[in-house]
């Protein structure tokens, strides 16, 4: 057990150090979501005047988006780094050592989750700085971090699965636009009950990203909404379980090939 | 004549590369359509915000933004191709072979324009198919598309200047990010009069705001700030043509 823990620690540290040494991988997940937040919260502030809009602060409404967008970056980081390990032969060399496959996956995802927690802290700090106050209070902050961890783990595992299946960094990068489609066709910019176009409302309703956003949003602007939390955590857990299962399977297949 | 021959060769090659490579062609078609869908479909309720008074409705309001956005990114995506040509060594051979090197920039500009024309036709057809209202006359629409053409040329010249200075694909974000910011710091979702706070201040001094407001006026058949819009767009095109041709000289000097 100690050996496994050591292996996980070493690979997680490698994952974190490698990420830190590539400033683009650290800066992009921090800056781009904040930029989108600035643009949307400025441009769509007038939306708060619509009857039924849940808050008079669009920043508070939109602050949920960076948490999910940041998780998309986690997918890219985890997937691209693992694909590079495959392309450079690191994974093949690793398979000749006593290193256990599960340690590789856990270590890789440990680094991604660590970055995800840093991202969440930055997003929350920026929100607090511009005057957003969490309706759920200090306990809500803990729940928010737990949710960010779970979402980052789930999406990171998805990126790892893509990398292990394709072995190509470019293939992993090509997932990014697809994830962006899910983000934009959700309740990202307007509550679902205020979406006027029927087909768009239907798409947003079946889109799981809407519920991930609404979970974070409930902690920020509503307080404690059991339904939103249950749906958000339920979907995030399902994504994490399925993704980790797929990534573990893909790793076994990849190790057998090499 | 030499310049035109070089321009024709560069434009043909660039267009051939784009239209025979789905990974280059499809994103330039899909992204504008996606933004049009996400903004016009998802945010249509915004037209109920008190003070929103664009007569042709929210679909037309967003169509104009997406049209200008596709024009700008048509130029930027062509800039990526220039950077790729330098990275692969093709552009250096082109600099050696071309009897008139200004034709190289002209060729890329023609390619960017023709590439965007395809996107604009598809985007317009889909917008009309989903029931977009057009209040402007034929002359107004010429004004609308003329502004978009100038934006396309200005964006290409900006991206070309960057690509020729840095000569690497890693310059992509430098080409893309300022264009993205200029586009999104304009009144994207609501008219300028409904913007509040810092973004209103930024939008007022953003040259693209004049272009966007005038273009929306053309589509609605009530042109506004036409001289300011064409002045701003042409000023950007002229400034970036100086930037692009100086970039060409730097690329020549780099050998």
Residues B199-210: tens digit of each pLDDT: 999 999 999 999
Cβ of B189 within 8 Å of Cβ of A177? The answer is no
Question: Interior CA angle at B216 toward B53 and B195, to 5°?
Answer: 55
Three-state DSSP class for B135? coil
Q: Which residues of A touch B190 (CB under 8 A)?
A: 43-44, 46
Closest CA to B169 of B72, B87, B251, B73: B87
Contacts of B230 (CB under 8 A, 6+ apart): B146, B147, B150, B214
Please give the tally of structural domains in chain B.
1
E-state strands within A183-245? none
Tell me what the mean pLDDT of segment B140-169 comes to: 95
Can you tell me the distance from the alpha carbon of B134 to that of B139, in angstroms, rounded to the nearest whole number? 12
Q: Say if CB A103 and CB A8 are below 8 A apart.
A: yes
- Identify which has the larger pLDDT, B90 or A28: B90
Q: Which residues of A touch B187 (CB under 8 A)?
A: 43
Domain enclosing residue B213, as ranges: 2-254
Q: Is the pLDDT of residue B255 over 80?
A: no
Can you tell me the distance from the alpha carbon of B71 to that of B112, in angstroms, rounded to the nearest whole number? 9
Tell me what the mean pLDDT of segment B182-189 comes to: 93
Residues A157-209: tens digit of each pLDDT: 998 998 899 887 767 777 777 788 888 899 999 999 999 889 999 999 999 99
Q: Which of A181, A194, A200 faces B41 most closely, judged by CB atoms?
A: A200
ipTM greater than cut 0.90: no
Question: Which residue on chain B is closest to A51 by alpha carbon?
Answer: B49
How far is residue B126 from each of residues B120, B121, B158, measured CA to CA in Å? 10, 9, 29
How far is residue B144 from each of residues B32, B237, B244, measured CA to CA in Å? 17, 16, 25
Helix H or strand E encompassing A18: helix A2-20
Q: Which residues of B touch A42 (CB under 8 A)?
A: 195, 197-199, 202
Q: Where does the pLDDT of residue B248 fall: very low under 50, low under 70, confident under 90, or very high at 90 and above?
A: very high
How far is residue A252 from each of residues A100, A103, A105, A257, measured CA to CA in Å? 10, 12, 11, 9
- Identify which has the larger pLDDT, A62 or A28: A62
């Amino acid at each position: 057990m100690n050996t496994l823990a050591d292996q996980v620690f070493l690979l997680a540290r490698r994952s974190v150090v490698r990420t830190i040494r590539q400033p683009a991988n650290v800066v992009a997940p921090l800056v781009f979501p904040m930029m989108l937040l600035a643009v949307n919260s400025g441009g769509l502030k007038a939306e708060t005047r619509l009857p039924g809009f849940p808050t008079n602060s669009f920043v508070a409404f939109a602050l949920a988006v960076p948490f999910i967008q940041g998780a998309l970056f986690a997918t890219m980081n985890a997937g691209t780094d693992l694909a590079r390990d495959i392309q450079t032969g690191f994974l093949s060399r690793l398979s000749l050592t006593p290193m256990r496959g599960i340690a590789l996956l856990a270590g890789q995802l440990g680094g991604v989750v660590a970055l995800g927690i840093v991202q969440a802290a930055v997003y929350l700090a920026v929100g607090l700085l511009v005057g957003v106050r969490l309706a759920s209070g200090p306990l809500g902050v803990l729940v928010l971090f737990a949710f960010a961890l779970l979402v980052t783990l789930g999406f990171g595992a998805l990126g790892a699965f893509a990398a292990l299946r394709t072995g190509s960094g470019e293939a992993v990068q090509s997932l990014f636009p697809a994830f962006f489609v899910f983000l934009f066709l959700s309740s990202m910019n307007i509550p679902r009950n205020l979406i006027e176009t029927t087909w768009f409302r239907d798409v947003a309703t079946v889109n799981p990203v809407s519920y991930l956003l609404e979970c974070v949003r409930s902690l920020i602007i509503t307080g404690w909404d059991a339904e939103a939390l249950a749906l958000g955590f339920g979907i995030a857990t399902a994504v994490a379980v399925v993704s980790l299962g797929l990534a573990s399977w893909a790793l076994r297949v990849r190790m057998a090939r090499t | 004549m030499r310049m035109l021959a070089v321009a024709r060769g560069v434009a043909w090659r660039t267009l051939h590369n784009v239209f025979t490579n789905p990974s280059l062609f499809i994103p330039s078609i899909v992204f504008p359509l996606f933004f049009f869908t996400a903004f016009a479909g998802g945010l249509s309720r915004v037209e109920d915000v008190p003070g929103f008074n664009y007569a042709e409705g929210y679909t037309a309001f967003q169509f104009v933004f997406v049209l200008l956005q596709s024009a700008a990114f048509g130029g930027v995506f062509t800039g990526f191709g220039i950077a790729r040509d330098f990275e692969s060594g093709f552009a250096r051979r082109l600099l050696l072979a071309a009897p008139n090197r200004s034709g190289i920039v002209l060729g890329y500009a023609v390619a960017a324009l023709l590439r965007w024309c395809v996107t604009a036709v598809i985007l317009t057809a889909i917008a009309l198919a989903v029931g977009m209202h057009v209040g402007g006359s034929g002359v107004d629409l010429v004004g609308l598309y003329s502004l978009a053409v100038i934006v396309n040329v200005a964006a290409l010249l900006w991206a070309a200047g960057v690509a020729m200075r840095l000569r690497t694909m890693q310059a992509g974000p430098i080409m893309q990010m300022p264009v993205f910011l200029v586009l999104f710091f304009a009144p994207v979702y609501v008219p300028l009069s409904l913007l509040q706070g810092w973004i209103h201040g930024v939008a007022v001094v953003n040259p693209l705001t004049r272009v966007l407001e005038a273009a929306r006026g053309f589509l609605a058949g009530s042109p506004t700030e036409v001289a300011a819009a064409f002045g701003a767009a042409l000023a950007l095109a002229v400034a970036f043509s100086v930037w692009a041709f100086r970039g060409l000289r730097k690329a020549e000097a780099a050998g």
